[in-house]
Amino acid sequence: MSRFTAPTTPEISSREIRNMQRVRDLAVECMVLLKNDGTLPLTEAGKIALFGNGARATVKGGTGSGDVYVRETVSIEEGLEREGFTVTTKGWLDRQEAAARAEKEAYEQAMIDAALAAGQPKEAAQMMMMLQPMTPVALEKITEEDVGQADTDLAVYVLARNSGEGKDRSAEKGDYELSDHEKSALAFLAEKFDRLIVLLNIGGVIDTKPLREIEGINAVVLSGQMGNITGLTVADLLLGRGIPSGRLSDTWAEDYRDYPSSAGFSGNDGDVCDEYYTEGIFVGYRYFDTFNVSPAYPFGFGLGYTDFSMEPAEIKCEGDSLLVRVKVTNTGKTYAGKEVVQIYVSGPEDGGIRPYQELRGFAKTGLLSPGESETVSVCMKLESFAEYSEERAAWYLPAGEYIVRVGRHSRDTHVAAVLTLSQDVVTQKVRNLFSDPAGKVEEIRPGKDHYTAPCEAEEKAAAPKFVIDPAAFTAETAVYPDVPDVIEAAAPDHELTFDEVAQGKASLEAFISQLSDEELAYLMVGNSVDNVGFNSVLGAAAKTLPGAAGETTGKLEEKRGLKQMELCDGPAGLRLTPEYIEKEDGTAIGLGGMSAGDPDTAGIRHYQYCTAIPIAMMLASSWNLELIQEFGDIVGSEMEEFGATLWLAPGMNIHRNPLCGRNFEYYSEDPLLAGKCAAADTKGVQKHPGFGTTIKHFLANSQEDNRMFTNSHISEKAIREIYARNFQITVQESQPMSVMTSYNLVNGTHAANHEDSVTHLLRDEWGFGGMVMTDWLTTSDLSVSLSATSELKYQKSDAAVCVRAQNDLIEPGEKADFTRILEGLSEGVITRAHLERNAGNILTLMLRTHLYCSRSYNETVPGKCITFE
């Protein structure tokens, strides 16, 4: 029986049509209106002069493993035309397309030449493109003749940026900053057209000074990268068929140098081997507010087509919980809209080192018509207000006043309540887990000159007061158990198969006890164990699901009946080979650019086109967890169709600096927003029993240059309050099936080898009950040859130490990993008990998958559940 289940008919499927429509129905809500003088929405779809590098070459999402192969990508030009607009600047668009094509062809040939010159196969050029991505500069001049042919007073300029895996962005013109050509083009268009709308087809923060300084720009929209139907969602926004209600998930600075990490980020200081997190916990708005630096656009900012009033309706502080209910009213006269209620809390100023305020909860209204009101409720656990003390090795609430603020964004909040705690309260006692052998990083310290909201003193005096009862809290002490003993289960007198375990005929312990050391080692290593190379590097190492990034071992299938889990990239959709041939010998080959008539392609042709959803940055900009769960459900439905067991997503690293090349794959600078978005995404996927997510990249992964060998020097407090907090929230709210560790080192130890984070933090403190896997090739010699630096200060991670750390699965797996695990066993680096423990993690997860379905998603999963809102 064939294991290849993708459709064999080339026609677009009802699932594709349905999912693209679902994306269209939801995506406009993610877009952020940054400026509007009333020009938007447009009253009709008439003539439009369209310019900019993203008009025809619209970016649907970033590059690398986050890309998605789709049947079609609707550009902004095409989307506008489909919805009735007449684009009158075809001449300029044709010239721009020709220039961009020539530039791309020259770049691709240069990469091929470089690969061949280095003695590598031609295919190696694809990896070189990942490490040295193209930065398009081709922009055709807009002439008086172009304006004369436009025959309209309305111009739209689409400013596009792309970035991706393996390379950080730059603060230079044409990337973070606008190029001189872009600035002059915008100034020219603002002078020549009565109405000018700028659409930002981008996946990360850019410098917006020119957009705010050039007179005549009427509207600016963060339209983002919304998947393969971006052009249609843009048309819906412009015509008011969809209502933009997005809010920024990051702080947009007035100047790049305003970010506290700017001087030392990635290669800005000439050192891509050591990254010093000197800003500590002061990331994003936490820094801008605490150090009183004015942003261009604050965290949480966004406009709509209407206005709202916001008034606290009820506040209750009882026991260990705080309830804030806020009445929101659409005060406009014409358009409907949605508003986001954001709750910030300022802790005691005489406590430890802490920000001026921190986001502690949020809620979004439904669609409100003019004059309509809705009261939203935000419930928060007071323990989530705790800060971490390295001296106490504990989470605690310092005594003093807690000011609860309600508002629209971080620079528009009003005091709603004041809570008082009479004494310090410890909420959890733990171990310090993140010391740095190189010494403690020297962090910036705030002064007294923080930002202060207008009328704060008067509002504080008039606000209701509450007393927090210290007795409402019970200090939990984390337990860190030792590695279990070697299993001594009474095994049957025959070789067990895993089906017997799944059917309840044998215990998992008995099955594991029968496995040899070699079988256990194979279980720890992905299925590319005999075939690692450039194909694996490019994230298509699976044999049984073409295009999947990897899979678990097939070595135990014949003897033990152990099926393989398929691991597929994300997070903007499912990344699979769009077409492949199933051959008579039971293997499959991806077609790539081949056609049915090409040699060696006889067999059954399969089609697995997927849906590209909005990038994570834009999902977070919706501030709508139900919407994000819906997008997760879209991905989950396609996982079911194609048999993809685990989605290697969501990516959820903190936006520490706007130049990180993969920020488009991640949600936010704020751990609460990022954690809750990833939890919602996970819930959407895991609504489909037997299919799950893999949250990534754990831990402190903020840099792409030299990503496999950079060492993040970071304090325990910053890790726990910022860079691990988002993962904690996701784990405890949604129990994702899997976690992927990151490439980087954390205070001198590779994340994949970091027992304190993978075992003691993730499992012992948070109660994670799933499987942990490595990122691809972190243990491989091939990773060394792919490094962006000529001389490595740090070495690759160790496969045996991965096992000891309880990083269960090494992907994509190679013979050297298998050999190293057995060497580690003989050397005493690890014991058989380590192998059995990790095997238990993998096989317990496998019992939850669609491959066996011995337990449904809704059954209890080991671990704790804490409500953060």
Spatial distance between the Cα atoms of 243 and 335, rounded to a whole number of angstroms: 9
The position carrying tokens 């493109």 is: 129
Q: Determine phi and psi for 674, rounding to 5 degrees.
A: -65, -45
Spatial distance between the Cα atoms of 809 and 535, rounded to a whole number of angstroms: 19
Catalytic residue among 320, 775, 808, 817: 775
Spatial distance between the Cα atoms of 175 and 167, rounded to a whole number of angstroms: 13
Classify the C-alpha dihedral 622-623-625-629 as positive or negative. Answer: positive
Burial class (CB in 10 A: 0-12, 13-18, 19+), 9: exposed
Indicate the DSSP class of residue 178: P
Q: Which residues pair with 418 in a beta bridge?
A: 403, 465
CB 170 within 8 A of CB 176: yes
**What is the four-CA torsion angle of 213, 214, 219, 224, rounded to 10 degrees?**
-80
Q: Which residues pair with 346 in a beta bridge?
A: 403
Q: Residues in the chain, how many?
A: 869
* 775 is a catalytic site residue: yes
CB 704 within 8 A of CB 692: no
Spatial distance between the Cα atoms of 303 and 36, rounded to a whole number of angstroms: 8
Indicate the DSSP class of residue 760: I
Spatial distance between the Cα atoms of 243 and 233, rounded to a whole number of angstroms: 10
H or E segment and range at residue 628: helix 625-642
Q: What is the DSSP string of 348-408?
A: -TTSSS--S-EEEEEEE---B-TT-EEEEEEEEEGGGG-EEETTTTEEEE-SEEEEEEEEE
The amino acid at residue 602 is: A
CB 551 within 8 A of CB 541: yes
Q: Which distant-in-sequence residues (6+ apart) come within 8 Å of 661 by Cβ?
A: 62, 133, 163, 164, 165, 166, 167, 168, 169, 704, 705
Three-class SS of residue 125? helix
Give strand ranges (E) for 319-366.
321-330, 340-346, 358-364
CB 315 within 8 A of CB 323: yes
Give the distance from CA 825 to its chain's centroid: 36
CB 286 within 8 A of CB 250: no
Three-class SS of residue 806? coil
CB 640 within 8 A of CB 245: no
3 state SS for 407-431: EEECCEEEEEEEEEECCCEEEEECC
Spatial distance between the Cα atoms of 758 and 724, rounded to a whole number of angstroms: 11
Give the number of C-alpha atoms closer than 13 A to the C-alpha of residue 716, restricted to the C-beta side: 21
Q: Are β-strands 400-409 and 340-346 bridged in parallel, bridged antiparallel, or unpaired?
A: antiparallel
Q: What is the DSSP string of 761-794?
A: IIIIIT---SEEEPPTTTT-HHHHHT-SSSS-SS
H or E segment and range at residue 311: strand 308-318
CB 700 within 8 A of CB 163: no
**Triad 289, 224, 283: Cα angle to 5°:** 25
Catalytic residues: 775
